[in-house]
Amino acid sequence: MRHYRTIRYRLHPNTSAKAESLFALSGACRHVWNHFVAKLRDDYAFYGECDYRWYSNNKLFTVLRHGQKDWLQDYSAAIVRHTLKPIEVAYQQFFKGQGRLPRFHGRYTHNPSFTCPEKTFKLNNKTLHIQKIGQVGLSGLNPYPDGEPVQVVVKQELGNWYAYVMVEVALKGEPRPIREMGIDRNVGQVTCSNGVVYRLPDDERGRMLQCRKKRYQRMVARREKGSNRRAKAKHLLGKTCQKIAKRRYAWSHHTSKAIADKYTTVYMEDLNTKGMTKAGRGKSGLNREILKSGWHQLEQMLAYKTNVIKVPAAYTSQRCHECGHTEKDNRKTQAEFVCQACGHRDNADCNAALNILAFGNGATARGDGAEVRRSVKREMDTFSPDIILGH
């Protein structure tokens, strides 16, 4: 069975000409994107419909490249043309009611980037050859040496160039016995139905980065818009935010691997994080903490390491796992759960994780104890139930 993995490399354009070529190619892709976004919007506004298919736009791109914009011939046609594929996907989702129309990419608000489809690049351990640009040095480790590269996304992040290489790999291994677990996601931690708690790293290094981030945010707010001093402050803020994001990314990888190594099926609440973090009076701090916890990132990493199944989130915190009694007063505090019907006591997050596991196995959210009582055995690990992973 074939699977896809992404490897991140650091690019090293050793000459200014190579760096300018990367900028120029990303600028050509941005120009073509904006040209066709404007054209399709005008067609939709005037005719009430537009032909957003990649095949149709591909023919128009050929006319544009050889007629109106001759300077596009200096760049790889396959790479620049590949920019039109996300437009087709965006319009398909828009007409299904699942997204919005594609937006314009600004020169100073959009990070330079482009995608190299198959046969437009050659990759080895030390260099990346891009069509019509040439060899660019790279550094990084490849955990899948037998994988076949199928696509490369080149991005500039805070002044440095990176290559995200998607490789096709064949995963080996014998089928494992089915083991299920429920996960309750909270602010700053993840609680499992086996009693293990994975907490976000909260050490001196993390607190120092958060203080530095606030200081740079104040610095950006106080400096004049458009000035060089404001640009320098924004760069420092971006570097700090990148370090914080890397720590959260590493924690999500460690946590998801620890869970996926032992369990083949994971049940999670079907949370609407976007709706939960909408702007509201007096909840900006809560929104910040929810977004800082990286719920969606952990879910994505678990999705390709094991089987993830969503269950309804309603009543997971109010339902007693032992008898099935559901009442708002069951949760005395944020950490303590006391059932008003049977007197069962447990950690509130642990009880919610067990309910999520029970819902995944077919239990109902409401009902009397005799109907929905389920015997879900806790599989306590040999290590401490309170684990902190991260750097």
Region class of 219: left (phi > 0), else alpha (psi between -120 and 50), else beta: alpha
pLDDT for 284: 77
Each residue's pLDDT tens digit, 68-96 = 889 999 999 999 999 999 999 999 999 88
Each residue's pLDDT tens digit, 101-159 = 899 999 888 999 999 999 999 998 889 999 999 999 999 999 888 889 999 999 999 88
Token pair recorded at residue 345: 């006591």
- Do 325 and 339 form a contact (C-beta atoms < 8 A)? yes
Q: What percent of the chain has pLDDT over 90?
A: 47
Listed residue (34, 32, 12, 31) closest to 22, CA to CA: 12
Q: Name the E strands within 60-204.
A: 113-116, 121-123, 127-130, 134-139, 148-157, 160-170, 180-186, 189-192, 197-199
Each residue's pLDDT tens digit, 250-293 = 999 999 999 998 898 999 988 877 777 777 666 777 788 888 88
| Angle at CA of residue 268, ends 267 and 269, nearest 5° | 135
pLDDT for 202: 83
pLDDT for 32: 96
pLDDT band at 312 (very low <50, low <70, confident <90, very high): confident
pLDDT for 152: 96
Token pair recorded at residue 222: 């106080």
pLDDT for 381: 44
Contacts of 339 (CB under 8 A, 6+ apart): 320, 322, 323, 325, 330, 345
User: Three-state DSSP class for 308?
Assistant: strand
Task: Using the predicted structure, report yes or no on whether residue 7 has a pLDDT greater than 70.
Answer: yes
Kind of pairing, strands 197-199 and 386-388?
parallel
pLDDT for 274: 77
pLDDT for 363: 66
pLDDT for 371: 37
Each residue's pLDDT tens digit, 350-390 = 888 888 888 888 766 554 333 334 434 444 443 344 443 44
pLDDT for 36: 95
- Do 13 and 160 form a contact (C-beta atoms < 8 A)? no
pLDDT, mean of residues 184-198: 88
Each residue's pLDDT tens digit, 314-345 = 888 888 888 877 877 777 777 788 888 788 88
pLDDT for 1: 61
Residue for token digits 């996601």?
A: 185
Half-sphere exposure of 95 (CA within 13 A, CB side): 11
Q: pLDDT averaged over the chain?
A: 85
How many beta carbons lie within 10 A of that of residue 76, not counting itself? 20
pLDDT for 276: 77
pLDDT for 317: 83
Phi, psi of 184 (to 5 degrees): -110, 115
Each residue's pLDDT tens digit, 170-188 = 877 667 777 888 999 888 8
pLDDT, mean of residues 21-38: 96
